[in-house]
Every structure is written in C-alpha cells, then in structure tokens.
Amino acid sequence: MDAAADNDHHISHIKGKQMPTLLVYTSRHGCAEKCANKISDLMDADIQVVNIKESSKFKLSDFDTIILGGSIHAGQVQKKVKKYCHEHLNELKSKRLGLFLCCMEEGEKAEQQFNNAFPDELIQHAAAKGLFGGEFDFEKMNFIERAITRKVAKIEKSISKIDEAAIEKFVIDLRS
C-alpha cells in the first residue's frame, strides 16, 4: 500500500470512532483556525469547534475529549489559551487531551515554544501533541505587524508552512 493510501486507511479508521469532542482554539490571523478546521474534518462528526475569543458557552463536562490549540505571536501563545489552561487545569487533566500549536519556528525552538505555551501537567497528560507549522499572512496583519515580520523573520510576503502530515498524525495519536 502506498503512503497516501495508507494515510487514507488511517483517517477512515479514525472517523469510525464516536466520542464527543470539543476543540477549543484561538487564532489571530487564521492559522490556528485553519488547523482546527482540518482536525475537525479528519475527526468523526461528533465534534464542536469553538474559538474562545468568540464564545465560552460550553461545558467541559459534556465532552470526553478536549483539543486545545493556539498560535505564537511575538514568541508567546495567546493569553486566552494560557488563561484557559490555568482556569480549567484539573478538569482538562480528567479528559482525553490533545494540545496543538502553530508557529513558524522549527525543531528545538518550536518545542520550546510548545513547552512554554501549555502547563507541564497538561503536556504530560496529553494523548496527542502537535506542532503544525505556521503562516505569515500579510493581508491579515496591520502595518506594524508586517514591518516587524519583515525585520525579524526576514519575510517579505505571505507564506504558509502548515504541516498537513503533522495534523493527520495528531488526529491518529489522539484516537490511539
């Protein structure tokens, strides 16, 4: 079986399992939202996707599995993600948990950003952890953000480095 067919087999196997799942994320320029939607597409139909910047009207007790994610800006994950983790730490530790992060860094630097984004207790508890790459979307950035990105990252135009294979692996790990 070739790699693509093998992946399709794993994904179809994932969709066969039914569990109430909540995917909570926040996104500044849309990268974490794209990744959240991709996860939702790969999961079974019983999934609620919520941007915590827009709504917090859900009860963790209604779900068996919680997926939590965000993205890095100026070296830090969004404050809403950190706050959510700390406010719901004990309940999150009682669930099947997946954590994901979007960032443009790679390797050790990306791992460090992931470890700084989430409490150690949640990282140790998580059944799935994902680093999904990132994007610089100049059309969604303001003038100052574009100027900083050009200077610091030395990027002159929009670029996407979303890692679809990492998202698929995350979903498989979460369901294993």
Q: What is the DSSP string of 54-83?
A: T-----GGG-SEEEEEEEEETTEE-HHHHH
Q: Is-contact 53 80, C-beta < 8 A? A: yes
How many CB atoms lie under 10 A from the CB of residue 34?
18
The pTM of this model reads 0.81
Domain residue limits, the chain: 3-175
DSSP conformation class of 140:
G
Whether 9 shows a pLDDT value over 60: the answer reads no
Whether 13 shows a pLDDT value over 50: the answer reads no
Q: Is-contact 22 58, C-beta < 8 A? A: yes
Q: How far apart are CA 81 and CA 114, in angstroms?
A: 12
Q: Is-contact 22 68, C-beta < 8 A? A: no
pLDDT of residue 45: 59
Least confident interval from 70-79, 120-129, 141-150: 141-150
DSSP conformation class of 5:
H
How many CB atoms lie under 10 A from the CB of residue 12?
9
Q: How far apart are CA 98 and CA 170, in angstroms?
A: 8
The label of the residue with tokens 């990027």 reads: 155
Whether 128 shows a pLDDT value over 70: the answer reads yes
Q: Helices in 16-136 by DSSP H: which ranges? A: 31-42, 79-87, 89-93, 107-117, 120-125
Residue 71 pairs in a beta bridge with 102
Measure Cα distances from 9 to 42, 92, 93, 111 in Å.
Answer: 12, 30, 30, 29
Q: What would be the CATH architecture of the domain defined by 3-175?
A: 3-Layer(aba) Sandwich (3.40)
Mean per-residue pLDDT for 92-111? 94
pLDDT of residue 158: 76
